[in-house]
């Protein structure tokens, strides 16, 4: 059999057109395209792709179903391992995970595993495939804190195992970063995210929104007064970092979280929603991760004339997904690389009117193996911008540890939990996702939710 080393191309919205709308950029495979792409898979005996998937989806199995046009079977196969395939197919950094070890990648292009997973999930949604098979009730209650990827996965897995699960969510809508962080043009909310949340509800999971654990109710109250047998904390890492440079509180400086929450969760870009947003004509986003790419591309879509990424290292160090950087460049985002802000300047009314920056060069690699950027003397200049969005990463919110007796955190404010099980320093309390690791990826959070569900099941079955 001849190897087919070239990927079936996927259709996308035209770059110029999409840079001004919030519709999804990538349009996904058709049935024929998906079957053709699936046919490239060699169905390896020892599939390395599976070893690189944090939730160990049986990748060759579902791809063979696609190849045979058994799409419902493919969806059921994926559902055994993942509660959010339509999300992961879209937002996982596959180039670092499953697709990085695909043997076809040695000589040509890896199988488009993410795009196939997305196809299967979208097909099963459009064709109403029932994925809600579950075991008999175990008569025990588990509380899940946070409805992001970790919480949804943990809740879904526990419900499948017969537990009575309630998710407590602080915001008015379930989904965590999937609803407030990742924009519509990468992850449609009404179709994809809502549907995946519905799938978790169909398993019998109850979702109580508007409950801030640590304020509205505490973990100790859930365990002692409300009769929960165990708790999983998947509260994420939502606390934004700022640089601490002068001028950061001028009008026109935002955290990426605020900018994205106003747009994605509150739909400030729609005229009939009442939350306002300040767009800016010339926008600089400081940072180089996925959130920075989301913010800068959002700024363009809101109507900014110019949108810059300001990043202190070079392009090869950008932590964002390659596909997103590529999309951003196509849409006209300007990359100001090896540049670092030192001060934000404002006019007499306190509105941002520029950002002082210095140019950087990369020195020797540090302990982490990354080349350390150092300032080039005398390189100071002013970037002409009226809006600055800080996307420097986030850390876990201290609210839950601060209000839960006996729950240990480390010096990065992350909850301390066993890697395999998610068990914390407090009996019956498990944790996973960004609350434990600090800001990471959707799929790693799902993996942690999955492991914790297994550990909780084992503990409660004793």
Partner 1 sequence: MYKIVEKKQLAPQIFLMDIEAPRVAKSALPGQFIIVKMDEKGERLPLTICDYDLERGTITIVVQALGCSTKEMMKYEVGDYFADFVGPLGQPSEFVHENIEEVKNKKMLFVAGGVGTAPVYPQVKWLHEHGIEADVIIGAKTKELVILEEEMKAVSGTTYVATDDGSYGFKGLVTNLIEELVLNQGKKYDLVVAIGPMIMMKFVCKTTEKLGINTIVSLNPIMVDGTGMCGACRVTVDGETRFACVDGPEFDGHKVNFDEAMRRSGMYKTEEIDKECKLGGTK
Nearer CB in complex with partner 1: 405/462: 405
CB of 100 to partner 1, least distance (A): 32
Nearer CB in complex with partner 1: 68/221: 221
Nearest Cα to Cα of residue 62 among 54, 49, 230: 49
Instruction: Say which DSSP state 315 is in.
Output: G
Residue 234: C-alpha distances to residues 167, 193, 347 (Å): 10, 18, 42
Please give the Cα distance from 431 to 74 (Å, whole number).
31
Nearer CB in complex with partner 1: 11/249: 249
State the sign of the Cα–Cα–Cα–Cα dihedral 240, 244, 249, 253.
Answer: negative
CB of 390 to partner 1, least distance (A): 8
Q: Please state, as a whole number, how many other Cβ atoms lie within 10 Å of the Cβ of residue 127.
A: 10
Nearer CB in complex with partner 1: 94/394: 394
Residues in contact with partner 1 by CB under 8 A are: 170-172, 209-212, 215-217, 238-240, 242, 244, 248-249, 251-252, 254-255, 257-258, 261-262, 266-267, 270-278, 349-350, 394, 397, 399
Residue 107: C-alpha distances to residues 101, 103, 104, 294 (Å): 12, 8, 6, 32
Read off the tokens for 221: 């109250």
Strand partners, 339: 359
CB of 403 to partner 1, least distance (A): 11
Structure-token match 């055994």, residue found: 80
Please give the Cα distance from 338 to 10 (Å, whole number).
33
Nearer CB in complex with partner 1: 204/252: 252
Nearer CB in complex with partner 1: 239/337: 239
Read off the tokens for 328: 């951003």
Nearer CB in complex with partner 1: 357/400: 400
State the sign of the Cα–Cα–Cα–Cα dihedral 405, 408, 414, 415.
Answer: negative
Instruction: Say which DSSP state 317 is in.
Output: G
167: Cβ contacts below 8 Å, ≥ 6 apart: 143, 144, 145, 146, 147, 151, 152, 155, 174, 205, 206, 207, 208
278, 298 contact by CB (below 8 A):
no
CB of 436 to partner 1, least distance (A): 17
CB of 159 to partner 1, least distance (A): 23
Q: Which helix (H) or strand (E) holds 373?
A: strand 371-375
Nearer CB in complex with partner 1: 28/146: 146
CB of 361 to partner 1, least distance (A): 30
Beta strand ranges found along 394-455 (DSSP E): 394-395, 429-431
CB of 210 to partner 1, least distance (A): 4
Please give the Cα distance from 229 to 223 (Å, whole number).
6
In the chain, the largest separation of any two C-alpha atoms, in whole Å, equals: 71
CB of 407 to partner 1, least distance (A): 17
CB of 257 to partner 1, least distance (A): 5
311: Cβ contacts below 8 Å, ≥ 6 apart: 286, 287, 288, 292, 317, 318, 335, 336, 337, 338, 339
Nearer CB in complex with partner 1: 30/209: 209
Nearer CB in complex with partner 1: 242/381: 242
Nearer CB in complex with partner 1: 375/392: 392
252, 280 contact by CB (below 8 A):
yes
CB of 243 to partner 1, least distance (A): 11
345, 247 contact by CB (below 8 A):
yes
CB of 242 to partner 1, least distance (A): 6
């Amino acid at each position: 059999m001849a190897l087919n080393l070239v990927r079936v191309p996927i259709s996308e919205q035209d770059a110029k057109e999409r840079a001004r709308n919030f519709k999804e950029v990538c349009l996904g495979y058709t049935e024929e395209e998906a079957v053709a792409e699936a046919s490239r898979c060699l169905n390896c005996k020892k599939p390395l792709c599976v070893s690189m998937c944090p939730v160990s989806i049986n990748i060759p199995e579902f791809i063979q179903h696609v190849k045979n046009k058994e799409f419902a079977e493919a969806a059921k196969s994926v559902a055994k391992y993942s509660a959010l395939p339509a999300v992961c197919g879209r937002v996982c950094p596959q180039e670092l995970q499953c697709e990085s070890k695909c043997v076809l990648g040695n000589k040509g292009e890896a199988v488009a595993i993410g795009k196939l997973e997305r196809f299967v999930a979208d097909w099963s949604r459009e064709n109403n495939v029932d994925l809600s098979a579950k075991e008999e009730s175990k008569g025990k209650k588990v509380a899940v804190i946070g409805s992001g990827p970790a919480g949804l996965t943990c809740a879904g897995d526990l419900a499948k195992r017969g537990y009575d699960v309630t998710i407590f969510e602080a915001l008015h809508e379930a989904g965590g970063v999937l609803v407030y962080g990742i924009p519509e043009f990468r992850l449609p909310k009404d179709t994809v995210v809502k549907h995946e949340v519905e799938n978790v509800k169909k398993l019998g999971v109850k979702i109580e929104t508007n409950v801030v654990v640590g304020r509205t109710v505490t973990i100790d109250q859930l365990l002692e007064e409300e009769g929960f047998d165990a708790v999983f904390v998947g509260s994420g890492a939502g606390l934004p970092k700022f640089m601490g440079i002068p001028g950061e509180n001028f009008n026109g400086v935002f955290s990426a979280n605020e900018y994205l929450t106003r747009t994605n969760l509150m739909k400030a870009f729609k005229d009939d929603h009442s939350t306002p947003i300040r767009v800016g004509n010339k926008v600089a986003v400081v940072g180089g991760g996925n959130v920075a790419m989301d913010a800068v591309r959002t700024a363009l879509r809101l109507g900014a004339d110019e949108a810059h990424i300001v990043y202190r290292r070079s392009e090869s160090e950008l932590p964002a997904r390659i596909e997103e950087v590529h999309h951003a460049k196509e849409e006209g985002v300007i990359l100001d690389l090896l540049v670092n802000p030192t001060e934000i300047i404002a006019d007499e009314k306190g509105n941002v009117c520029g950002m002082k920056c210095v140019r950087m060069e990369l020195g020797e690699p540090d302990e982490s193996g990354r080349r350390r950027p150092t300032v080039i003397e005398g390189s100071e200049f002013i970037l002409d911008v009226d809006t600055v969005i800080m996307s420097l990463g986030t850390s876990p919110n201290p609210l839950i540890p601060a209000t839960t007796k006996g729950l240990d955190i480390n010096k990065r404010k992350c909850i301390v939990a066993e890697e395999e099980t998610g068990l914390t320093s407090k009996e019956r309390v498990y944790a996973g996702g960004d609350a434990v690791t600090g800001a990471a990826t959707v799929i790693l959070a799902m993996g942690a939710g999955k492991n914790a569900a297994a550990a909780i099941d084992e503990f409660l079955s004793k």
